[in-house]
C-alpha cells in the first residue's frame, strides 16, 4: 500500500467513526465554536480541565472529511495531557499541516496522515480549525481557574 493510501485510510477511519463526538450539557466544560467559510466546516469543541490536566474533550459539527477526521483525532491526541504538553502538541501539529519538519516523539503516527494537506493551502484550515477551537477553549478554561 502506498503511504498516501494509508494516510487516506486513517482520515476516512477517523471521519467515519468520530471519537468523543457529541457535546455535553455541563457548565464545567468550556466551549468554542469556529466556522470555516471557505469550505463550510463548522466545529464546536468542548473541554474540561482538572487543574492543568485536560480530563475530557467533546466535539460536534459538520464539514469535510479532513475537518471531521482532524476534530476526532485531536480529542485523542490531547486527552489527559497537561496544558504545557498540549501546547507542544498544538505547535507540532500546526507545523505538520504547513509542511514543516516535526518532532515525531510529540505527535503520534496517526497525525502524519494530515501532513498531506500542506500541499493544498485551502485544506490547511480544514485540518487545523478544530485544533484552534480546542486551543481557545483550553485557554479560556485555564484563565478562568487562575
User: Closest approach of Cβ 94 to Zn ion, in Å?
Assistant: 16
With binding defined as CB under 5 A, does residue 132 bind Zn ion? no
Taking the complex as a whole, the smallest distance from the CB of residue 111 to Zn ion amounts, in Å, to 18
Candidates 16-24, 53-61, 62-70, 137-145; binding stretch for Zn ion (CB under 5 A)? 62-70
Sign for the CA dihedral angle at 121, 11, 32, 103 comes to negative
Apex CA 95: angle with CA 89 and CA 96, to 5°? 85
Interface with Zn ion, residue 106, by CB under 5 A: no
Measuring CA to CA, how many Å separate 120 from each of 29, 33, 71, 80, 139? Answer: 34, 24, 18, 31, 29
* Residue found by looking up cell 485551502 in the block: 122
Question: Which range of residues in 17-25, 64-72, 88-96, 133-141 is near Zn ion by CB under 5 A?
Answer: 64-72
> Least distance from C-beta 120 to Zn ion, angstroms?
10
CB count within 10 Å of CB 44 equals 18
When asked if residue 53 is in the footprint of Zn ion (CB under 5 A), the reply is: no
Is residue 67 part of the contact set for Zn ion (CB under 5 A)?
A: yes
64 binds Zn ion (CB under 5 A): yes
Query: Who contacts 125 (Cβ-Cβ below 8 Å, separation ≥6)?
Result: 36, 38, 39, 41
The residues binding Zn ion (CB under 5 A) are 39, 41, 63-64, 67, 126
Amino acid at each position: 500500500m502506498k503511504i498516501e493510501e494509508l494516510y487516506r485510510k486513517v482520515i476516512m477511519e477517523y471521519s467515519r467513526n468520530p471519537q468523543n463526538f457529541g457535546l455535553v450539557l455541563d457548565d464545567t466544560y468550556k466551549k468554542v465554536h469556529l466556522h470555516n467559510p471557505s469550505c463550510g466546516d463548522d466545529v464546536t469543541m468542548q473541554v474540561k480541565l482538572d487543574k492543568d490536566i485536560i480530563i475530557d474533550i467533546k466535539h460536534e459539527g459538520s464539514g469535510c472529511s479532513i475537518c471531521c477526521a482532524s476534530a476526532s483525532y485531536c480529542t485523542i491526541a490531547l486527552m489527559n495531557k497537561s496544558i504545557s504538553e498540549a501546547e507542544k502538541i498544538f505547535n507540532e501539529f500546526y507545523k505538520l499541516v504547513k509542511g514543516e519538519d516535526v518532532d515525531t516523539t510529540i505527535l503520534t503516527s496517526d497525525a502524519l496522515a494530515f501532513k498531506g494537506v500542506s500541499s493544498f493551502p485551502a485544506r490547511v484550515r480544514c485540518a487545523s480549525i478544530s485544533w484552534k477551537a480546542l486551543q481557545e477553549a483550553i485557554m479560556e478554561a485555564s484563565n478562568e481557574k487562575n
